[in-house]
Structure 1
Amino acid sequence: MKKRAILLSALALAGYYLKDKERRDHLFEKINEVKNQFMNTNSSNHNKIPEEFPIEKGGHPYPQDFEDNKMVSEGSQYSVKYYNENEQ
């Protein structure tokens, strides 16, 4: 019940504050600025990822690499060994 009262009073305050057109425009400008900053930061980080990671075939195994495919199909043997040691 207390959360509902807080939510309703926050909505009423936001409605009163955004009643003025200048305040609404200012708020939407700030939202767009933050969105653009996030998009620019996100896209610039996305372009840097291949340079930072020297992994050539991580996540994309070659079908002809039989040893790698065999290792992946076996799964993690470390956890199986750890479980067996703790059970025995």
Structure 2
Amino acid sequence: MQTGSMKSAVMLGVGAAALWMAMKPENKSKLTNMATQMKDKIMPSGKTDVTPVQKAGNPDPLDLEDNKMVSEGSMYGVNYYNENLQHQ
């Protein structure tokens, strides 16, 4: 059996089982909670309270390596335009 048809068969089975479980009113809340938990595990919302970059938006003027990196990076687009697009 091919993987595409196997995935379709599994999804059809999961859908049929969910429909069968949802027919009883006491199972609806269980099914809803289980679906929400599965969705959160598969597709996390990405909301975190921790900032990944410690000094974003607050550069230190005495950090020479950081300043050098920023000055080199800011010219990349200008150099690309000058070398590739302007000389056509």
- TM bucket by the smaller chain? 0.3 to 0.5
> How high is the TM-score relative to the length of structure 1?
0.41
- Greater share of residues in helix: 1
What is the TM-score when the length of structure 2 is the normalising length? 0.41
Report which structure shows greater RCO (CA 8 Å, sep ≥6): 2
